[in-house]
Amino acid sequence: MRQRLPDQTISAWARLQRASQSVLSAVESDLKAAGHPPLAWYDVLLELKRAGKDGLRPLALQSQMLLAQYNLSRLLDRMAGDGYIERRPCPNDGRGQIVVTTPAGRHLLKRMWPAYEAAIQRHFAERLSAEEATRLAHLLGKLSPR
Amino acid sequence: MRQRLPDQTISAWARLQRASQSVLSAVESDLKAAGHPPLAWYDVLLELKRAGKDGLRPLALQSQMLLAQYNLSRLLDRMAGDGYIERRPCPNDGRGQIVVTTPAGRHLLKRMWPAYEAAIQRHFAERLSAEEATRLAHLLGKLSPR
DNA sequence: TATTAATATATGCATTTGCATGTAATTGTC
DNA sequence: GACAATTACATGCAAATGCATATATTAATA
């Protein structure tokens, strides 16, 4: 321990816990109320869409989403079980897979967005000015890998 | 849906998810590596300590920690099982309880702090200047209840 | 003051997470 | 090019979480 933490730091830390907990669970709750699957499903589908035709290796999804390997593996199980994604063998690497969205998955992504956008608006965006959002994004960017 | 979300807002939102996930799990992991219970245990003990001699109703802890009622109930089960807290009948309200720390609980709070402080330093504080921490605290404060 | 509604907390059961480890393929080394 | 080490992903089992509902008590109403 090099030095005692200053009060503003402790306060920022406490608020990070509270704010993320509060906003994330409110958004999750709105999604569920609209009859949709959890946020993580949306995130997976979005990453896959961004990745395009070739899909993504689970490994890449993992580091993008900061999800534990076994959690992603089971999340993909569930999403594949519901027909939203497909696992394909990876041509370059026999151990790996390529994950791609199905048409149903791409459709789900579209269907979820209105509820998701409204939830972000209600629980997050509404509480910040444009400038505040920019500053917050900048500060939070310092806290996660790359 | 009143309006499309601006890009900075979406970016801030995405970074809130990533940053909180990244930092919280890193801190949890350091605590566990040091042989300590999860963060939530520390939070409970700290709130109880702040509340002083009279302890707290679970209801109060719940809203302070933004924890679901059943989750808090079971968290208290575990902590009581390990002897860190005690549930006492509530004099004013026969339905309720008063939760207080035991000596072992107060001791745990002290023992956990060095590892916790170091983890906050390493994964959070180190990445922000004092001024940035202040600004971050201010912005995050807008996002959670009161 | 019965009776109904609301509140505080607990709990059975299904789902999810975490941990440890398994399996199969690939890479590195000699 | 054989063999050990590493990597990618899966999985059995225990713990935690979420959901629905139960139980006991207090507050509200008629």
B28 within a domain of the structure (yes/no): no
B20 within a domain of the structure (yes/no): no
pLDDT of residue A68: 98
Q: What is the pLDDT of chain A when averaged over all its residues? A: 96
Asked if the Cβ of residue B97 lies within 7 A of any atom of strand C, the reply is yes
Q: Is the pLDDT of residue A20 over 70?
A: yes
B32 within a domain of the structure (yes/no): no
- Nucleotide D16 C1' to residue B44 CA (A): 17
- Provide the CATH number for the domain around residue B82: 1.10.10.10
Q: Is the pLDDT of residue A146 over 90?
A: no
ipTM of the complex model = 0.93
pLDDT of residue B145: 85
Say whether B142 and A127 touch across the interface (CB within 8 A): yes
Domain of residue B130: give its range.
Answer: 37-141
Considering only alpha carbons, which residue of chain B is nearest residue A25?
B66
B58 within a domain of the structure (yes/no): yes
- Nucleotide C9 C1' to residue A123 CA (A): 29
B9 within a domain of the structure (yes/no): no
Task: Over range A44-62, report the average pLDDT.
Answer: 97
What residues of chain B score a pLDDT lower than 50?
A: none
Say whether A23 and B128 touch across the interface (CB within 8 A): no
pLDDT of residue B66: 97
Say whether A5 and B120 touch across the interface (CB within 8 A): yes
B16 within a domain of the structure (yes/no): no
pLDDT of residue A3: 64
Nearest to B2 among A2, A121, A137 (CB): A121
Say whether A18 and B144 touch across the interface (CB within 8 A): yes
Q: Is the pLDDT of residue A31 over 60?
A: yes
Considering only alpha carbons, which residue of chain B is nearest residue A144?
B19
Residue A81 banded pLDDT, cuts 50, 70, 90: very high
B48: closest CA among B116, B115, B97? B97
Q: How many domains does chain B have?
A: 1
- Alpha-carbon distance of A13 to B64, in angstroms, equals 15
Which of B136, B138, B142, B146 best tests the A interface by mutation, with the highest count of A CBs <10 A? B136
Task: Over range A134-143, report the average pLDDT.
Answer: 98
Identity of the residue numbered B136: L
Task: Over range A13-32, report the average pLDDT.
Answer: 98
What is the distance of C-alpha B38 from the center of its chain?
Answer: 10
Task: Over range A119-128, report the average pLDDT.
Answer: 97
B104 within a domain of the structure (yes/no): yes
Burial of B38-72, coded b for 16+ CB within 10 Å and e otherwise, reads ebbbbbbbbbbeebeeebbbbeebbebbbbeeeeb
- Alpha-carbon distance of B55 to B106, in angstroms, equals 12
B131 within a domain of the structure (yes/no): yes
| Phi (first) and psi of residue B37, to 5 degrees | -70, 175
